Structure 1
Amino acid sequence: MGLFNKLALCCALLMQGAVLASEYIDVLDLPAKPSGLAERSPLLDLARAGSRLVAVGQRGHILYSDDEGRRWQQARVPVSSDLTAVTFPTPEQGWAVGGDGVVLHSQDGGASWQKQLDGRQIGGLVSAFYAAKAGAEPDNEQWAALVEEGQRLVEEGADKPLLDVWFEDDRVGYVVGVFNLILRTQDGGLHWTPMLDRTENPDGLHLNAIAPAGDALYLVGEQGLLRKWEPQTQRFVSLPSPYDGSFFGLIGRSDEVIVYGLRGHAYRSTDGGQQWVRLASPLPISISAAMEGADGQFRLFTQAGHMLLQRGNEPLTLAPLAEPLPVAGAALTADGTLALVGSRGVRTLGVK
């Protein structure tokens, strides 16, 4: 290629780059694009909103079904960030979280969503909150360290993935994420309070999930992190952990809690998390989702699409599925079939 042609090519590339730069829109400001293929796109969580099913996933896709998963509609979503989790404490009020620290709120059962918070705000929120505490207690080194953490979040920008969300009701809720990021709201998401100082997590491990079991509230995360909310001290305190690998989720009720995660590891406790019994799995495959069946039996799902049944402290039992595909979220439909979401979208399956 001659010098003139090289120069012409360079100019063309520079002009193309300038055009692309001028057209760039942050995913936090770019509404999710309607797509006829949204049902087949990767979906990462599934929740019930009364009689409605709501699924969330990549590129801001949120789908909802009013006929137990047979047909799906795409919701109106103001962002294109990947969404990781969704919860509905009431049939109308719901929250979803995901990449870039985004928190979305719906008031109509998941048909439309509004942004309440994002990663561009979280760093400043954390820094200002702990700066006020540092001003009141200048000799407390913890506050200074958390002010620095907030400043670091500001400098790093919006990339602060939130990994889970849970609401007690339509007012009180929590979002959790990477590096011990945890916030609480007591007014339905209008204001958020950092809780980094109320979680025993000095190494800043990722918080993968938050969920209740009966009246108790638990956190699980990487490197075997297990925490439980202690009302007396208003802190998430450490529990003895039976495993040093990552936990991805938990499910339970007043008399038991089950935590599950990497390489098929699952454990059951009947004393509030003080002692754990290993639930041996027939497959060394990570467990990514769980649900309670109509019979009260817990069902766990692997990343490869297997379903495992839990009965007390017995080993997990493999239950055949009509079409095993990767599972990230599960729910039971009114007619007893399974609604599942994962890397290949959403589907309903009968149980053999």
Structure 2
Amino acid sequence: MTMIKWTLFAALAAAMAVPFTRPVIASEFADVLDTPALRSNIAAQSTLTGLARAGERLIAVGQRGHILYSDDAGQHWQQAQVPVSSDLVAVHFATAQQGWAVGHDGVVLHSSDAGQTWSRQLDGRQVGPIMLDYYQHQLASQPDDSGLQARVGDAQRMVDEGADKPFLDVWFENDRVGYIVGAFNLIFRTDNGGLSWTPLLEHTDNPNALNLYALRPVGDDLFVVGEQGLVMKLDRASGRFNATLTPYNGSFFGITGKPGAALVFGLRGNVFRSTDGGTSWNKIDLGLPLSITASSVTADGRIVLVSQAGHVLVSVDDGASFQIQTHTALAPVAAAQVATGDALVLAGARGLRQLRLE
């Protein structure tokens, strides 16, 4: 079976891909999709891989379904109620109240109370059947379409394989319209806040079904990045994600920037910047050969990148150059989020920590 990324942090820290498995507790199988996340006094010190802002509140997600929230810029954390114990990878809030989290086993969770409680909207047991029904209906009206025939075959394989495909990122334009992306070119859209999802696999320039690691807007442009240098930009008129060429064929893990300057980042310190909406990309030399795994933007417009080892790099010129912040205690990092003022919260294998930007 093809090996795919467990989470951005775990893949980099272990320098290998890890297959998705479900735990066996004692000698009796317990499906993580039916097992609520256990409460833990040390949840904030466990492996956490995603961060987001919900208004002034911070939200963190991670292993075993742990979701935590902080109302004091990351100094103290409380654990949320979560209906699954699947590993969670990413989280995004469209408003201060409405948020979504995604992860392993095709899980999509929703919160309408600023992250205190969560409900399941989708899981991997539903993903395959949704895809199969959608593409079968399309094929019925276009029976000779070879592309649709292939989509039906792919969907049937997903049904047969079960709930093992992860979603790796989520982003909502507002409290109704949102996208989720994941392994093997999985990409879905909702127009009703996650009550139903429509597959968009045929709307991507990704014929090799490469893993999609992240999606984020920069200004009015929505980008998706993935394996083998894949960078796609949404053409809103056609609804298609069109590939844009970059000078790099390694994995990109994230997107950041501000209107007029988009950056994609990934393996071995590779960062590329575009000032023309993704038409062309120029390499930014960080002087650091370590993979970049996290980013954030401050209220005053500074762009922050963080390496897999915890180096913090800050740009004051819209991403044209970066300076490494000194006196930073290094530790593996999977996600970063600017809190209030100059407080930066980092999440990783050692849990959550806060530092001040220089």
TM-score by length of 1: 0.92
Question: In the alignment, which of 246, 271, 294 is matched to residue 289 of structure 1?
Answer: 294
Q: Does structure 1 residue 131 correspond to structure 2 residue 117?
A: no
Q: 1:201 corresponds to which residue?
A: 206
Gaps of 5+ in 2: 1-23
Question: In the alignment, which of 245, 249, 272 is matched to residue 250 of structure 2?
Answer: 245
Identity within the alignment, %:
52
Letter in 2 for 1:61: H
Q: Does structure 1 residue 230 correspond to structure 2 residue 235?
A: yes
Measured after TM superposition, the shift of residue 313 of structure 1 is 6.2
Instruction: Find the aligned partners of 1:72 and 1:332 in 2 and give their Cα distance.
Output: 16
Q: 1:331 corresponds to which residue?
A: 337
Q: Does structure 1 residue 256 correspond to structure 2 residue 257?
A: no
CA gap of 1:321–1:186, structure 2 versus 1, over 3 A, is: farther
CA gap of 1:80–1:19, structure 2 versus 1, over 3 A, is: closer
Contact 1:289 1:329 in 2 (8 A): yes
Q: 2:349 corresponds to which residue?
A: 343
Contact 2:185 2:210 in 1 (8 A): yes
Instruction: Find the aligned partners of 2:323 and 2:238 in 1 and give their Cα distance.
Output: 39
Measured after TM superposition, the shift of residue 295 of structure 1 is 2.6
Contact 1:103 1:115 in 2 (8 A): yes
Deviations along 1:303-324, one digit per CA (max 9) or x if unpaired, are: 1000112335644321124322
Instruction: Find the aligned partners of 1:114 and 1:346 in 2 and give their Cα distance.
Output: 24
Q: How many residues matched?
A: 334
TM-score by length of 2: 0.91
Contact 1:123 1:151 in 2 (8 A): yes
Instruction: Find the aligned partners of 2:162 and 2:146 in 1 and give their Cα distance.
Output: 25
SS of 1:154's equivalent in the other structure is helix
Contact 1:321 1:349 in 2 (8 A): no
Question: In the alignment, which of 89, 92, 100 is matched to residue 87 of structure 1?
Answer: 92
Letter in 1 for 2:189: R
Instruction: Find the aligned partners of 1:350 and 1:232 in 2 and give their Cα distance.
Output: 42
Question: In the alignment, which of 107, 124, 148 is matched to residue 153 of structure 2?
Answer: 148
Deviations along 1:158-198, one digit per CA (max 9) or x if unpaired, are: 00011000000000000000000001000000000000010
CA gap of 1:334–1:205, structure 2 versus 1, over 3 A, is: same
Deviations along 1:36-78, one digit per CA (max 9) or x if unpaired, are: 1101000001100011100000000000011111110000000
Contact 1:208 1:249 in 2 (8 A): yes
CA gap of 1:92–1:314, structure 2 versus 1, over 3 A, is: closer
Instruction: Find the aligned partners of 1:105 and 1:319 in 2 and give their Cα distance.
Output: 36
Letter in 1 for 2:152: V
Letter in 1 for 2:159: V
Contact 2:124 2:165 in 1 (8 A): yes
Aligned-pair Cα RMSD in Å: 1.5
